[in-house]
Structure 1
Amino acid sequence: MNAPAIEAIDLVKRFGAADGRPAVDGVSFAVPQGTVLGLLGPNGAGKTTTVRMMTTLSEPTSGTARVAGYDVRTEPDMVRRNMGLTGQAATVDELLTGRENIRMIGGLYGIGRRDLARRGDQLLEQFSITEAADRPVKTYSGGMRRRIDLAVSLIASPPVLFLDEPTTGLDPRSRADLWEVLRGLVAQGTTLLLTTQYLEEADQLADDIVVVDRGRIIAEGTPLQLKQQAGRASLVVTVSHAEDLETARRLLAESGAEVHVDVGARQLTASAEGIADLTRVAGWLHRHDVDVDDIGLSRPSLDDVFLSLTGRRAEDDNEEVG
């Protein structure tokens, strides 16, 4: 089997007094090549500190990490050669044009002029910046600035990309556009580590999720596995006629689940195992001539996962330091 593209090995980071609580406390995980890991947690959980250690911007107090097979402590130069990083704030020069930013960073990587021009044109087209390529970045919208920042981080075609809160401050349309770009990168084989407070973002992009709180991992798994930990799915039925509520309640109760009835909304809710329960109940309702406006499964969200794991929502904490 291929080695992980990204691996954290008992990472610890302390700031200040040695006997204080670590900002990161024994974090370990592995990210297979060509996949996306979502690193989630409330503000102050240790997400950015973990990324800074894994990208050689901060020395671990103990433990280590490997990126593309290279150790961040003993081979930092090789780590930097094999990764890209997009931080919380755009790092491009606003006085330069998009094309000039790409040329500047490409030159720092030592990419030849001809190859740089070709690669730059590819990135400008890939990120839909071609028409604005020769305008100063200060004239770009927020979404365009994030795209040029991401394009610059990919100029050397790194196999691993770290994205620290990449869509913070973007409007929903710009965020969705950037998601499509990221999906394209993964389809081409790039491995992503994504930190975010937008739970929908992790749900949309991540193959696996690691949840951190107060510097420690408190849960990990696929988005579906984590949602299942937060509770069972619910079957939600909205009947067309209020007089059918009692019949529908009796039918749903046959599954052994407790049924909640909202008379005003003509809606019934009961716990369910999955699609099989939905299909069975739909058949019962049809056979008893109960018309429905809507029937479906409602699964716990990742926000429900946060609430069940930490007792608070993802945004309900102080700003992260370090």
Structure 2
Amino acid sequence: MTASPKDVGHSSSLHYPPGNFDEEDSSGNMDLIVDYIDVVNNLDDRQIDDKFEEMLADMNLKEEKKKPLQIYGSAQKKNMLIHFKYVNSQEGRLKFKKPIDYISYLSQPDLTVNKLTECLEDLRISLTNNPLSWVEDFVETGVPKLVSKLSSCYVKDDCYTCPQHECIKCLNAIMNNAVGIRAVFACPAALPAIAECVDPSTPHCMFEAVKVLAATCLVPNGHQKVLDAITISGDPSSGKRFYPIIQGLQNESSESSKVACMQLLNAIISTPDDLDFRLNLRNEIMRIGFSDLIDDLRGTYMEGGMYIQISAFDSSAEDDHEEFMNTFDNVK
């Protein structure tokens, strides 16, 4: 499942820590640091403070040593976070080699947010760079473990957004092959846990979740599993199981997030072969506010990714209307 381009960082974004990376550093380690810099650049001041306190706890400093550091500004705290990450990645990378290393580490009940996030970041790199045999060794026990961590992160406070985000990215990496897809499908809680992350209050997590769900719709037997997951994760009594996706298309969302949400809606509506099923799904989505929203979107996006997705939505609706009218004429 291919990843979409990352959001552009802020103009005040940080770069590599001073000093050069050693030539013996692996490319996976470089990727981990680059991704972490991107994460830090996108944190607000309160999140920076939370991660900084986690770092100080990991450093096991006494209170009198912490106080001078706690008065630093956000820019200084960001630099310290990145340096701390860099040093730990150099010293601790060899800790994880085999799938069982990750599974054992993730099984520890009292991991700090930083430790959990670092492990998940490293796992994602390993899932991407290692051969299929490595992934096969991981998925049977590792997928349920990841899903458990994802669910526990979702119900905790905001400081767990980073590990939640990394859990989804790990599952996305796993589903880049048939072995991983089968393992995710074999875990009943996996797709509902991902669907639960379609939550506009955590936009980065929602962005990753809708990408995974949209791609899964196109996999054999995936469409119904995605529908079931969305239904399970929502409020069945409200009749608005798709409403979080509609919220993701509101004005405050980034364009890349809106494109991903439109891709998911198109995949949900257009994948079934049965015309009545497609019509019912489209009507369900239109009834929860999308009929008004789509007009605004058409007037706003005249080019680019959103324009392509809106055009695909309109074209699919026109084709279904034509097929319905032809069926109706044949009945007469």
Give the structure with the larger helix fraction: 2
- TM-score above 0.5: no
Greater fraction strand:
1
What TM-score do the two structures reach when normalised by structure 2?
A: 0.33
> Which structure exhibits the higher relative contact order, with contacts defined as CA atoms closer than 8 Å and separated by 6 or more residues?
1
